[in-house]
Structure 1
Amino acid sequence: MSLHRDAQAVLTGWSAPTADEELLRKEFLDHLHAYDDAMSRECVPGHLTATTAVLSHDGARVLLTLHPKAGMWLPMGGHCESDDLSLFQAALREATEESGIPGLVLLDGPLALDRHKVWCHPPHSWHLDVEYGAVAPAGAEAVISDESLDLRWFAIEEIPELSDEATRRLARRARERLHAG
C-alpha cells in the first residue's frame, strides 16, 4: 500500500472526536483525492504531515522542541518522506529523529488533526497535520537535533504559553490514550 492510500484509509477509518476535526478529516480526504502528491512537501497548496507528542513513560510529561521557524514549543513532527510506508511510520520516524530517543512506542492513533499555515511555500501553503502520541522508555534521555533550538520535558499541565492549543490538546489526548491502556 502506498503512503497516499494509507493516509486515505487512516482518515476514512478515523472517528473525529469533535465537529471541527470532522470537518478537517473531510478536508484532508478531499485534498488527498484532489492531489496525487498530497503527501509530499512539494504539494504547494498543502501537504499531510505527521506529528507526535512524546510522553514520558508515566504520561506525566511531554517532550517539546523549540521550533526554529515557528519560535514556539511544539511536538515532534514534520514532512512525510518517500520511503515512509504509512502515517504511523512517518510519525514514529519523526519523533525518533527529533527526540533522539530510541525505543519509542507509538500509541494507537491518530489522536487529533490540525491545519496551520507554514513556511514551506509561503504565503499560501498548509500543513494538514495528522497527530499521534508516543511513549518514551523509563529513564529516556532526549538528544537535541539540528532541527531544534532546544528540547525540554514539560508537565502536561505546564506547557509554556509560547506554544499553542493544538499542542496542549495533543498532549492531553496522548496521556488519556496511554492511561486508557
Structure 2
Amino acid sequence: MAQKYPKPMIFLHWLTLLLVLTAYFSGDYPPADGIVGEIHVASGICLVFLLLLRIGLRVYYREQLPKHLLTRWQHIVAHSVQMLLYLAMLLTPIIGYLTLTADVDDFRLFGITLPYFSLNLSLGKAHEIFANGFIALAGLHAVAALFHHLVLKDNVLKSMSPH
C-alpha cells in the first residue's frame, strides 16, 4: 500500500492551492483592475484545466493512491468534501467567466481577446458565493488534514507532503 501520493499529484495539489489563493486575493472586478484583473481571470482559467488534469491523474494513478484508515463517516465526509471542492473548482471559474462576458463586450488577457460567451445574465453574486464556499471548503479540508496530523497522528497529511 502506497504511503504517499504520486509526485505529479502532490505538485498539482499545491499548485492548485497557489492558484486558488492568487484568484482569491486578486478578485474584485477584473474589467476595472488592469493586470490584477487579468491575473484573477488567468488563475480561474488555469484552475479549470488543472482540475481536468487532476481528475486524469486520479484515474491514471488509482491503484497507487494511499489507502488511509478512516472510519466510515470520515470516508464519507472526506469524499463529499473532495467532490464539492472539485465541483467548486469547476463551477466558480465558469460562473465567473460567464459574468465577465455578460459585463463587458470583450476582455483582453495578456494581450489576447478572450472568446465571448454571453448569456446576457450577470452571475457576479453567484460567482462570489461559490468562491467563498470554495474557500470555506478548502479551509475545512486544511483543518481536517491538521486534525489528522496533530490529533490522530496518522499519515494523511504526510501523504500529500512534497518532501
When the two structures are superposed, what TM-score results if normalisation uses the length of structure 2? 0.29
The higher radius of gyration belongs to 2
The structure whose residues are more often helix, as a share, is: 2
When the two structures are superposed, what TM-score results if normalisation uses the length of structure 1? 0.27
The structure whose residues are more often strand, as a share, is: 1
